[in-house]
A = this chain, B = another copy of it.
């Protein structure tokens, strides 16, 4: 593998000049430039970005830490950060935590060793040591999906409380009184927790007693959603509607209910969260809270690169979420159809 030194010799110039034609072509006379370019060709020169990173202390690489790429909502935001990064000639290293805090800490460590310029994290534990350390050491990172409205850490997310509230409110307005919730484990996701707070608050505001039996916490999987839904609808005084803390769980929940012979949405209304692409491709089409995942990733990358670029002050971007009413929710049994 040839280096700029080889090129330099071949072209009869110094390495500095070669470096210049690579990084700031205009600062070198056209004649020498073509001479160098030609030399690069003939010795099949390949640029070594690693060496550059080593010399400049900028790897032009960022790390992206998500729970799991299997959940389409994370695939979507991942695409958002990739596209933005790509456009800025930045590469992204991806890591899955599988909702495990130790994995998250491990990933942060490895990625920093790899000298990533910054980190985008959908965290499993907003109060964990990993983030605290990053903060202390003033390492550039931005949180994705979390509800952070102020404070010292950068974030782009949505108001998860509000989202949970709206989802529940939609159900309440349809006349539902027994409203269950299938939620990802609170210990592993602040998003889920905040959505649940919104759910509780909404019930309260509408004079509906909170029944803790109607809450099922589960791991974030299709089967988790399915089993949790089965559990809830098997209760003596079963819910007539279920709010799932994400679409992935909702898809599972729909299957669970169906397996027990429930007719959707007649027997059971379901509302999800995220609005992943397939949400509108299933039967019944899923009513959900839409959050702009791609945009979130995109903006997250933008924010991060800005911070890396020198803008020091942390900043929070709070995007809008909205209720998308489709077919999976309907009037509560006994409520006249208008």
Q: Which of A's residues lie within 8 Å of B, judged by CB? A: 46-51, 53-54, 59, 61, 68-70, 72, 75-76, 78-79, 82-83, 86, 89, 91-96, 110-115, 222, 251-252, 254-255, 258, 277-278, 280-283
Contacts and interface: CB of A to CB of B under 8 A. Distances in A.
Given A49-B113, A91-B93, A283-B283, 11 more contacts: A49-B110, A61-B93, A69-B82, A83-B96, A91-B95, A92-B93, A94-B94, A222-B278, A252-B281, A255-B280, A255-B281
A62 to B, nearest CB: 10
A48 B57 CA distance: 10
Nearest to A277: B222
Nearest to A258: B283
A161 to B, nearest CB: 28
Contacts of A114: 49-50, 61, 91
Contact of A251 (B93, B254, B278): B278
Contacts of A110: 49, 89, 91
B79 A96 contact: yes
A278 B278 contact: yes
A75 B69 contact: yes
Contacts of A68: 79
Contacts of A51: 54
Contact of A282 (B53, B89, B92, B283): B283
A131 to B, nearest CB: 17
A94 B112 CA distance: 17
Given A69-B78, A70-B76, A115 B283 contact: no
A94 B75 contact: no
6 contacts: A49-B113, A50-B114, A50-B115, A70-B72, A75-B75, A258-B283
Contacts of A75: 69-70, 72, 75
A115 B251 CA distance: 41
Contacts of A278: 222, 251, 278, 282
A15 to B, nearest CB: 16
| 6 nearest CB pairs, A to B | A50-B115, A49-B113, A283-B283, A54-B54, A69-B75, A94-B94
Which has the most chain B C-beta neighbours within 10 Å: A54, A251, A258?
A: A54
A96 B333 CA distance: 47
B76 A96 contact: no
Contacts of A76: 70
Given A70-B72, A78-B69, A46 B252 contact: no
A244 to B, nearest CB: 13
A48 B115 contact: yes
Contact of A281 (B54, B78, B251): B251
A282 B251 CA distance: 8
Given A70-B76, A72-B72, A282-B283, A94 B113 contact: no
Nearest to A59: B50
A279 B186 CA distance: 28
Given A251-B281, A278-B222, A46 B112 contact: yes
A295 to B, nearest CB: 15
